[in-house]
Chain A
Amino acid sequence: DADVTQTPRNRITKTGKRIMLECSQTKGHDRMYWYRQDPGLGLQLIYYSFDVKDINKGEISDGYSVSRQAQAKFSLSLESAIPNQTALYFCATSDPFKGELFFGEGSRLTVL
């Protein structure tokens, strides 16, 4: 199994639809993150969680919500998708004390 698995890998949806991107990890890390990547803008932090009971907003959290269902699972939801949320989304996990950082393969979302 991959260290960090994201589903779906690709999704095309329409404006106003609810979308959930799921992330699971096998590293046993407490810290998990959702990032968004847009061409020319680099990666931006949407939400992060340092343990199951800890959820924090990142730089660009408006229009998004998250759920940390277990240590290994961290889901990102778009309650009502809009076209400018078209982007590549990455989940990541880390243990900074071990110097470990792992990313998923990315979920490409297109909102029409």
Chain B
Amino acid sequence: KNEVEQSPQNLTAQEGEFITINCSYSVGISALHWLQQHPGGGIVSLFMLSSGKKKHGRLIATINIQEKHSSLHITASHPRDSAVYICAVIKGTSGSRLTFGEGTQLTVNP
């Protein structure tokens, strides 16, 4: 069983919909990153969280350390949000090395 599990693996939405991507992990962590990867493109870190909630534009990320769970929400989704979203954790004893989920492929249709 992977230490970092994401759901769903694939998600298709209509433009304007509210989207939630979930990440559960089974290890102690010091922080968690949400990453975005566009087709053929590089990877961008959207958020780093160690507690609570962060917001940037239409993106909101939350983390519950006790429940070992994080969510990424996209409000008013747009076709340009179509990408793979990856949850990555920094395990408590790993320095800053990341352990990755397998990613969620999001497609937003106009």
| A, B co-complexed | yes
Residues of A within 8 A of B (CB): 31, 33, 40-45, 48, 50, 58, 90, 92, 94, 96, 99-106
- Bin chain B's interface residue count: 20 to 34
Question: Cβ of B33 and Cβ of A101 under 8 Å apart?
Answer: yes
Q: Within 8 Å CB of A102, what residues of B?
A: 45
Question: A-B contact count, CB below 8 Å?
Answer: 51
Q: Within 8 Å CB of B102, what residues of A?
A: 40-42
Q: A90-B43, A101-B33, A101-B45 are in contact. Are A43 and B97 (CB under 8 A)?
A: no
Question: Cβ of B42 and Cβ of A43 under 8 Å apart?
Answer: no
Question: Cβ of B42 and Cβ of A103 under 8 Å apart?
Answer: yes
Q: A96-B31, A96-B90 are in contact. Are A105 and B96 (CB under 8 A)?
A: no
Q: Within 8 Å CB of A41, what residues of B?
A: 102
Q: Which of A58, A102, A103, A105 has the most CB of B within 10 A?
A: A103
- Does B44 sit within 8 A of A, measured CB to CB? yes
10 contacts between A and B (CB under 8 A): A41-B102, A42-B86, A42-B100, A48-B97, A90-B43, A92-B43, A94-B96, A103-B35, A104-B42, A105-B41
Q: A40-B102, A105-B41 are in contact. Are A99 and B97 (CB under 8 A)?
A: no
A44 (CB) vs chain B CBs: closest residue: B100
B2 (CB) vs chain A CBs: closest residue: A42
Q: A96-B31, A103-B42, A103-B43 are in contact. Are A42 and B103 (CB under 8 A)?
A: yes
A40 to B102, CA, bound (A): 7
Contact of A33 among B31, B41, B48, B97 (CB under 8 A): B97
Q: Within 8 Å CB of B33, what residues of A?
A: 101
A30 (CB) vs chain B CBs: closest residue: B96
Q: A42-B86, A101-B33, A105-B41 are in contact. Are A50 and B95 (CB under 8 A)?
A: yes
